[in-house]
Chain A
Amino acid sequence: MSETKKERKIPAPMVNPETEAFWAAAKEGKFLLPHCVDTGKAFWYPRQVSPFTMGKVEWKESKGLGTIYSVSVMKRAPEIYAIAYVTLDEGCTMMTNIVDCDFDKVAIGDRVQITWKPAEDGTPYPQFKPA
């Protein structure tokens, strides 16, 4: 089992006016997922113009459960880490890290749940761990 001894530092996200609500909710432990008002479909990454209709967007709280679509474990780094795409149960796929896991075993198809890790400025950053 090759668990990380040290955790990788997460650079602070460059928040902008479009995404302030997401990060404000994150500080309360809530995972807000953007949805297209016209179609009701969830999407990623968050933006305020619907990528389906160019129409309005609303935030809905997500349970943060999903399945790994693809994953790569970065070996050539000061601290080993896993980058992944996770398909949320709401149907959209987001890029994330898989943390608190066995890097030799993490695999496509694994069920995962959201966990918040502090970025360098303290902002809770969305990551996923085995469910």
Chain B
Amino acid sequence: MSIKGKGYIMGAYEHPTRLAKDKSVAQLHAECAAGALADAGLTKDDVDGYFCAGDAPGLGPLAMADYMNLTLRHLDSTDVGGCSYLNHVSHAIQAIAEGKCSVALITLAGRPRSEGHSGAVPRVRGADAPDTQWEFPLGVATVNAYAMCAARHMHEFGTTAEQLAWIKVAASHHAQHNPHAMLRDVVTVEQVVGSPLIATPLHRLDCCVVSDGGGALIVTSPEIAKQLKRPKVKVLGAGESMKGQMAGQVDLTYSAAVRSGPAAFAEAGVKPGDIKYASIYDSFTITVLMQIEDLGFCEKGQGGKFVADGNLISGVGKLPFNTDGGGLCNNHPANRGGITKVIEAVRQLRGEAHPAVQVKNCDLALAHGTGGLLGSRHGGATLIMERE
């Protein structure tokens, strides 16, 4: 069975807050849910399927579904880190196609900025995880796990710090138009490579922001989508995978997108060259570079050349990406950027992105997420969407 055309993204909402000292995580989830429902023209009583991941408080979906007083026929708490919400869109359409629900709500929210979390501080990702005793004592944080990928990419392919910097530069060109973005100043390649080294070879400006906030999506059946007034965003294809250390046969040059990408393109029946806009997970500049290669936008090892000289800037380059400013400049709520990737793709397909960054005739878009640590074990999920 294919999910192609079996479900539509009919509601999308990004919380405007970037610092939420006065709100709880549950409240942020619920405010995002209310925003997405209002966007779709639905109410909470229309929701019969609910999806959330590890950022939700309490046990799976129980706390949040109870907080929002939902009556559900379908629940799913798939958690593979920051890309989980792309998996949720795919899983929601699978459930809709099987008749298990017809209006699915997906929420993400968190307040890592208020709580003082940083990607430079090692943390235990499950004391009983089988890898913890071998890695946590080493000081593996988020940034240095990604940095090892960047170091290896540079070593094998000659990728440069300046090429990576172009990714931040492109994101900043987009963020200047987003009043909610945390970083709105346009930066130059020189500013990125001149910013302090955090974990070699990654600089401070190679890293995403740490922000509070959240987002929500509404996925519906084709029948319900027809009754709603919003532009219809049809999901054409989806793919998901993960990649680990392969029992010690470590290869840091590629990501799980080598599997999730081709699966999504095959289901959608389109090619990378057909994509008009791409939301690419941008926890760090290297994340974008590797995913662009793995999704087939360029050959492996050629990502550095591909992203340079503004090729990711809307209106300038061939592959406009993250036109909201992405995680690099706009928002990375709960330290998980997956849902905002889908939200900006929906804006582009609806023609509702900021006019300065709106891609002309944007009828086909891709969103890709990475969850966990690219340098050790991570999830990858790809969605291909069409304006109908």
Interface of A is mostly: loop
Chain B residue with Cβ nearest A119? B137
Known: A51-B247, A85-B252, A94-B248. Is A75-B139 also a contact (CB below 8 A)? no
B229 at interface by CB-CB < 8 Å:
no
Chain A residue with Cβ nearest B200? A73
Contact A45 B131 (CB under 8 A): yes
Contact A83 B133 (CB under 8 A): no
With A and B bound together, what is the CA distance between A93 and B246 in angstroms? 10
**Closest chain A CB from B207 CB (angstroms):** 10
Q: Which of B128, B200, B202 has the most CB of A within 10 A?
A: B200
Contact A14 B132 (CB under 8 A): yes
A125 at interface by CB-CB < 8 Å:
yes
Contact A13 B245 (CB under 8 A): no
Contact residues, A72-109 vs B (CB, 8 A): 72-77, 81, 83-85, 87, 91-97, 108-109
Known: A14-B127, A70-B152. Is A96-B120 also a contact (CB below 8 A)? no
With A and B bound together, what is the CA distance between A47 and B134 in angstroms? 11
Known: A19-B133, A46-B134, A95-B135. Is A108-B155 also a contact (CB below 8 A)? yes
Contacts A43-B248, A69-B152, A69-B252 supplied; 14 other A-B pairs, CB < 8 Å: A8-B139, A10-B138, A13-B133, A15-B133, A45-B135, A70-B148, A70-B149, A72-B200, A75-B198, A76-B196, A77-B120, A77-B139, A92-B249, A97-B138
Contact residue among A11, A42, A71 (Cβ-Cβ distance under 8 Å from B136): A11
Chain B residue with Cβ nearest A46? B134
B59 at interface by CB-CB < 8 Å:
no
**Closest chain A CB from B80 CB (angstroms):** 20
With A and B bound together, what is the CA distance between A22 and B40 in angstroms? 56
**Closest chain B CB from A50 CB (angstroms):** 8
**Closest chain B CB from A69 CB (angstroms):** 6
A24 at interface by CB-CB < 8 Å:
no
**Closest chain B CB from A14 CB (angstroms):** 5
With A and B bound together, what is the CA distance between A44 and B245 in angstroms? 8
Contact B248 A125 (CB under 8 A): no
**Closest chain A CB from B98 CB (angstroms):** 31
Contact A72 B133 (CB under 8 A): no
Chain B residue with Cβ nearest A84? B148
B33 at interface by CB-CB < 8 Å:
no
Contact A71 B247 (CB under 8 A): no
With A and B bound together, what is the CA distance between A43 and B134 in angstroms? 13
Contact residue among A8, A16, A81, A97 (Cβ-Cβ distance under 8 Å from B133): A16
Contact residues, A1-35 vs B (CB, 8 A): 8, 10-16, 18-19
Known: A93-B249, A95-B138. Is A71-B199 also a contact (CB below 8 A)? no
A52 at interface by CB-CB < 8 Å:
yes
Contact residues, B114-169 vs A (CB, 8 A): 120, 127-128, 130-141, 143-145, 147-152, 155
Contact residue among B135, B137, B140, B250 (Cβ-Cβ distance under 8 Å from A69): B250
B335 at interface by CB-CB < 8 Å:
no
Contact B148 A83 (CB under 8 A): yes
With A and B bound together, what is the CA distance between A18 and B145 in angstroms? 25
A residues within 8 A CB of B197?
A: 73, 75
Known: A11-B136, A77-B139, A83-B139. Is A72-B151 also a contact (CB below 8 A)? yes
Contact B248 A93 (CB under 8 A): yes
B residues within 8 A CB of A92?
A: 247-249
B residues within 8 A CB of A85?
A: 148, 250, 252
| 21 CB-based A-B contacts, threshold 8 Å | A8-B139, A12-B137, A14-B132, A18-B130, A45-B130, A45-B131, A45-B134, A47-B130, A70-B151, A72-B199, A73-B199, A73-B200, A75-B196, A77-B120, A83-B139, A83-B148, A84-B148, A93-B249, A94-B248, A95-B140, A125-B137
